[in-house]
Amino acid sequence: MRIVISPAKKMRTAADPVPESEPRFLQEAREIRRCLEKLRPDERKALWKCSDRIARDGERQLAEMDQEPRTSAVLAFEGIQYLYMEPESFTPPMRAYLKEHLRILSGLYGVLRPYDGVVPYRLEMQAGLKAAGTRDLYAFWGDKLYREVRAADGLLINLASKEYSRALSPFLTGEDRMITCIFGEKKGTRILQKGVYAKMARGAMVRHLAETGAESEEALLSFSALDYRFSPEDSTDREFVFLRNPEAPERVRPAFEWTETEDGDGVHD
């Protein structure tokens, strides 16, 4: 069984021991970096779709990619999902579990194990970068990411956004089973999935799986963090739906402001 998650746009250099490993696709990451360096600053800003301030940060990150220190990926990403995963408090058994089971998809690095060393960067998978003559990053990576994340049993727990899971889904075979977790609220016959709460739940789910040492999809069913509960009547064998009470206590609401780096809401029918 493998668990896949998205990266976060916001990154940091953490006070972390020396990372345990290097990313598997460093050569490809360097090739992508060279493609980024060939662009004009205004072209990079358009690619990043960001403000002048964030573009300046992106330029600095690009210039400093060869510098140390590197930070373990699971500690370097600083978004909501990672806040609720709480990687700084992983116990040794949880770390061992996640090294085996967790993979982070990345536009720059392709696939990251949690304790691969990375530096801050800005590049979304859906950015229209024509790396090495390809039409975009999906074409650049092809089936490499699928082959890297696939476990022997073919079971894939998808906690990634569509932007990233799209890099895997075209290559699934009949021997694979990808279960996508949906975290939402029931609105009539529809399930509304709010971006910020879904990210919170994805991080909490990773922690739940690590704490329970999950080896099959049954471990997902007992997830109850943030007032979510598994909804069998709304689920299928490929989509596990977890519903949250919209009147849940204020304690589960995010204690931070919405920023331009957060995704919007989405509707799941």
pLDDT (0 to 100) of residue 267 = 37
Residue 268, pLDDT > 90, answer: no
Which pLDDT does position 189 carry in this prediction? 84
Tracing tokens 């919405």 back to the chain, one arrives at 258
Q: What percent of the chain has pLDDT over 70?
A: 90
Q: Contact at 8 Å (CB) between 67 and 113?
A: no
Q: Burial of 117 by CB count in 10 Å (0-12 exposed, 13-18 middle, 19+ buried)?
A: buried
| CA–CA gap between residue 153 and residue 218 (Å, rounded) | 15
Domain tally, the chain: 1
CA–CA gap between residue 98 and residue 75 (Å, rounded): 13
Task: Please report which confidence band the pLDDT of residue 262 belongs to, taking 50, 70 and 90 as the band edges.
Answer: very low
> What average pLDDT does this structure show over 158-177?
96
Q: Around Cβ 259, how many Cβ atoms within 10 Å?
A: 10
Q: Which two tokens stand for residue 87?
A: 């990687």
Give the model's pLDDT for residue 258.
34
pLDDT band at 246 (very low <50, low <70, confident <90, very high): low
Cβ(182)–Cβ(143) below 8 Å: no
In the predicted model, is pLDDT for residue 31 greater than 50?
yes
Supply the DSSP string of 158-225, one letter for each residue.
E-S-HHHHTTTGGG--TT-EEEEEEEEEEETTEEEE-HHHHHHHHHHHHHHHHHHT--SGGGGGG--G
Q: What is the pLDDT of residue 247?
A: 65
Domain enclosing residue 110, as ranges? 2-268
Answer whether residue 9 shows pLDDT above 60. Answer: yes
The structure's pTM equals: 0.89
Rounded to an integer, the average pLDDT of 252-264 is 38
Average pLDDT over every residue of 113-120: 95
pLDDT the model gives residue 253 = 44
Mean pLDDT, residues 219-242 taken together = 96
φ, ψ of residue 125 in degrees (nearest 5): -60, -35
